[in-house]
Amino acid sequence: MTDTALSVQTPRYDRKGLTPGIVHIGLGNFHRAHMAVYLDDLFAQGVDHDWAIIGAGVRAPDAAMRDALKGQDCLSTVIELDPAGKTCRRVGSMIDFLPVEADNASLIAAMARPEIRIVSLTVTEGGYFINAATGQFDPTAPDIVHDAANPEKPRTAFGAIIAALKARRAAGTAPFTVMCCDNLPGNGDVTRAAVLGLARLSDPALADWIDANIAFPNGMVDRITPATGPRERALAASFGLGDDPVPVTCEPFRQWVVEDHFPSGRPALEKVGVTFSDQVHAYEMMKIRILNGGHAIIAYPGGLMDIELVHEAMANPLISGLLDKVETEEVIPCVPPVPNTEIPAYYDLIRARFSNPEVADTERRLCLDGSNRQPKFIIPSVRDRRAAGKSARGLALISALWCRYCAGVTDSGAEIAPNDPNWDTLQALSRQAKTEPRLWLEQRMIYGDLADDAEFAADFTHWLNSLWANGTAATLKAYLG
């Protein structure tokens, strides 16, 4: 039904009739505007009411989200920011949120329940313990070392998944499918590597059983969801929901492509627009290179030029020109064909999404965590260009812009607050690179052997020197010249 007085759509089904089939770890804005919305739409069709979500978290800050959502019966406010008119809905597909505990005991017990047939995750791109230089699981990460030594009291989502699978195996319960919903290339494969890598450290036989019995489908997910702040709370209040501390705003567009590999069953999400495909990698490469790479292209020049909002950056002809030139000349030519998709039209859609003024996404959010995002979203295109013997001059400029941003001061002299988990290290290195640019490329965890590529290193050095000597606007003009 819809409350016409407040123009808020409420669940069009009886939530008391829902039973759980999914445990989802990581109840951030993206999940609540994406997977939770798809399920809400599906439940409204009167089907699959045994696939409701139980929420969970494995970090101490997740407790605040639990308190907020439990205080409103696990309903999430989702506001779609269409320039033609905003719409607001209360999403009811989650029916509980587990206690957040250091040893994850409640989470393990919930995942061991027979009715749970999918465990899904959004624990951020940086939450999978990947060595950036090798692209492989890192068994030396402190939390992994802890979980290997204490498998019954794990800190990580992966340790909890292993403990729950062990309990299900002992009870003779069919295993669940592990479905990653984070924005990672081969996200199912990455999740498999983390689970198996950790399991082999403490119980190789269990790792073999997981390898033989557990499905980890790959998927591509997409929806722009800004962080929640005063503006978003004010929007919720304008719909009469001023008591909601954690509303989600998002663009109207959403997409989800996933492999159809769910041995214990799945909800009929194809009824609400999810694409099941054996060519997920093609979709995800297009999205990660063009959209996420595009975010990285416009992030750092905007940050250096004191531009706050993404649509404002897109209105700047130097930044939008940079995006067009790098995308069309260096990124898109490396993207292989995608089923039922015209890539130039897809890029036009991306530009329109970036330019949506209602989303009010921030340049600072796009600049966040470059040490994790650059190796995933920018460096692969560099490698493809260089492997083909072609220039990556524009992409070298993007790396130089990131380096310059990490110095911690904009072109106007304004301070840039820390914006990366490794900010202190990056800031010190960026300031050294002002006089010795190649030091930046010696971050082998990020660039691998690209520091040894003379042409790329020369392009990077040229652009970094220009950014320091001439500023961002003049450097962009020179590139676009």
pLDDT of residue 2: 40
Res. 185 pLDDT band, cuts 50 70 90: confident
CA distances in angstroms from 220 to 185, 276, 465, listed in the order given: 8, 10, 37
Tokens 């997981």, located at residue = 210
**Single-letter amino acid, residue 219:** G
Given this model, what pLDDT does residue 364 score? 97
The per-residue pLDDT for 322 is 98
Q: Which of 296, 257, 247, 263 is nearest to 277 (CA)?
A: 257
For residue 224, which of 332, 336, 357, 376 has the smallest C-alpha distance?
357
CATH superfamily of 281-480: N-(1-d-carboxylethyl)-l-norvaline Dehydrogenase; domain 2 (1.10.1040.10)
pLDDT score for 6: 52
Domain ranges of the chain: 2-278, 281-480
pLDDT digits (tens, 9 = 90+) for 271-316: 999 999 999 999 999 999 999 999 999 999 999 999 999 999 999 9
Task: List beta partners, residue 2.
Answer: 9
CATH of domain 2-278: 3.40.50.720
56-84, pLDDT tens digit by residue? 999 999 999 999 999 999 999 999 999 99
Region 325-334 average pLDDT: 98
CA angle (337 as vertex; 335, 339 as ends), nearest 5? 135
Nearest to 300 by CA among 367, 226, 388: 367
Q: Up-side HSE of residue 298: CA atoms within 13 Å toward CB? A: 33
Q: Do domains 2-278 and 281-480 have the same CATH topology?
A: no
First to last CA, the chain: 56
Query: Which tens digits make up the pLDDT trace of 93-115?
Result: 999 999 999 999 999 999 999 99
CB 447 within 8 A of CB 453: no
Sign of CA dihedral 29, 32, 33, 35: positive
- pLDDT confidence of residue 3: 41
Mind listing the pLDDT tens digit for each residue in 217-259? 999 999 999 999 999 999 999 999 999 999 999 999 999 999 9
| Rounded Cα–Cα distance for residues 452 and 448 (Å) | 9
